[in-house]
Amino acid sequence: MGFDPGISIGKELTNNEMRELFKCGNMGGMRRSKKTGTLVIISRNERSIS
């Protein structure tokens, strides 16, 4: 059975909440966690690309 963070898609988390929940680092757009076996990808959509 895999890691279940117990959050829904689209949920906004603070940097600290992500770090504590996923047991990962606090910097960068891609954060690997060996403890939970996850890769956290940080995305921010503030405006349209076109």
pLDDT for the residue numbered 19: 92
pLDDT band for 49, please (50, 70, 90 cuts).
low
Residue 22, pLDDT score: 92
Average pLDDT over the chain reads: 86
Q: What is the pTM of this model?
A: 0.67
Specify the pLDDT at position 17: 92
Average pLDDT value for residue range 18-46: 88
Q: What would the 3-class secondary structure string for 1-50 be? A: CCCCCCCCCCCCCCHHHHHHHHCCCCCCCEEEECCCCEEEECCCCCCCCC
- Mean pLDDT calculated for residue range 25-41: 89
